[in-house]
Structure formats: structure tokens, C-alpha cells
């Protein structure tokens, strides 16, 4: 009898290209991820039962800290540039700031999520933001220990600016617990 040898035929798949693609995608996502910058002030927001989400874009945020300091933020860069050019830029130029310093301040301001505002300037910033973007949605984010008068001042500014609807930022209260 003759012996017949059988040879197993199989396909070997080389996984090296697949691993290369996986690491390339991982590196791409790691390098392009935009991390949220730290907030300029820590705010302990009150809780509520409302599940309505604050919009992601097109918002004007007025933050009131526990020591009644005011901060403002505008979600879109074009609105930030408009605020700078109409309110902050003229102040810097009037104070004799170098044009290069004004431009540097603009570049820094474009990247800032929020900035401190004096109580008396809130109305000017709110009006300027409203003029630059009619569809901007105001949001109030107040610390639980902020005085009622501080929050009421912002609400009165909204009313004087003919902003009759706005969102209050709260934490969702957990039931049963």
C-alpha cells in the first residue's frame, strides 16, 4: 500500500495591518480630542427634578459664584469676538494699550470659556451678546450659597434686555436615595 500524504491547506491572516490601523485611529482620537477647560470658579448648583437639558451651543451663560462674583461665557467664538470688539477692545484702546497687546488679548479671549464681569457691566455684555446673536439662549448658573439679590439682579438685567425666557442650571435630583 502506498501512503498518501495529505497536506492541510489553510489561510494565515496577518493581523499586523489591522493592529497598525487600530493604533493609528487611537492616536488620531487622542490627539484631536478637545478636553473641557477648567471652569474659572467652582459652583455648587442646586438640585431639581427637571430633566430638561441645557443646549450645547448658542448659549450665553451668566455664572454667580458663592461669594456673589459674576462670570459670563458665550458658547460660540464669533459671539465672543463680537463681545470683545464692542466692549473690551474699546476699553483697552482707550487705556492706551498697544495694538499688539489688544490683538493678543483678543486671541486669549476667543479661547476663554468664561470671564469675570463686574455687576454694573452685566447689562452691557448681555445686550451686546443679544445684538450680535438674536437667537442666543441665556442660561443662569448660580451657586447654592449665592445671595438671592445677586441672582435677582441677573434676572432683572434679562428682563430689561427683553429676554423673557432663560434656563436655570441645576443638578438632577436622584429619587429614592
Tens digits of residue pLDDT in 46-62: 777 777 777 778 889 99
**30: in domain:** no
Separation in Å, CA 148 to CA 20, 43, 143, 153: 58, 15, 10, 8
**92: in domain:** yes
Residue 92 belongs to what domain range? 57-167
pLDDT at 149: 94
Rounded mean pLDDT, 55-80: 89
pTM: 0.71
Q: Is the pLDDT of residue 87 over 70?
A: yes
d(CA 6, CA 65): 80
Task: Report DSSP state, residue 119.
Answer: G
**67: in domain:** yes
The per-residue b/e assignment along 146-173, b for 16 or more CB within 10 angstroms, e otherwise, is beeebbebbeebbeebebeebbbebeee
C-alpha 74, offset from chain centre: 7
**3: in domain:** no
Pairing of strands 137-142, 59-64: parallel
**129: in domain:** yes
How many distinct structural domains can be found in the chain? 1
**153: in domain:** yes
pLDDT digits (tens, 9 = 90+) for 91-123: 888 998 888 998 998 888 888 888 899 999 999
**147: in domain:** yes
Amino acid at each position: 500500500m502506498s501512503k498518501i500524504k495529505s497536506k492541510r491547506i489553510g489561510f494565515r491572516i496577518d493581523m499586523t495591518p489591522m493592529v497598525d490601523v487600530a493604533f493609528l485611529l487611537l492616536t488620531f482620537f487622542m490627539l484631536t480630542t478637545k478636553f473641557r477647560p477648567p471652569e474659572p470658579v467652582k459652583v455648587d448648583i442646586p438640585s431639581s427634578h427637571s430633566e430638561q437639558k441645557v443646549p450645547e451651543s448658542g448659549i450665553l451663560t451668566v455664572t454667580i459664584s458663592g461669594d456673589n462674583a459674576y462670570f459670563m461665557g458665550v458658547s460660540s467664538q464669533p459671539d465672543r469676538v463680537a463681545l470683545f470688539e464692542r466692549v473690551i477692545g474699546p476699553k483697552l484702546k482707550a487705556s492706551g494699550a498697544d495694538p499688539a497687546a489688544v490683538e493678543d488679548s483678543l486671541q486669549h479671549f476667543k479661547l476663554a470659556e468664561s470671564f469675570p464681569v463686574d455687576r454694573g457691566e452685566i447689562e452691557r455684555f448681555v445686550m451686546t451678546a443679544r445684538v450680535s446673536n438674536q437667537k442666543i439662549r441665556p442660561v443662569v448658573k448660580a451657586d447654592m450659597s449665592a445671595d438671592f439679590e445677586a441672582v435677582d439682579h441677573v434676572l432683572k438685567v434679562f428682563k430689561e434686555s427683553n429676554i423673557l425666557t432663560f434656563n436655570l442650571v441645576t443638578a438632577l435630583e436622584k429619587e429614592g436615595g
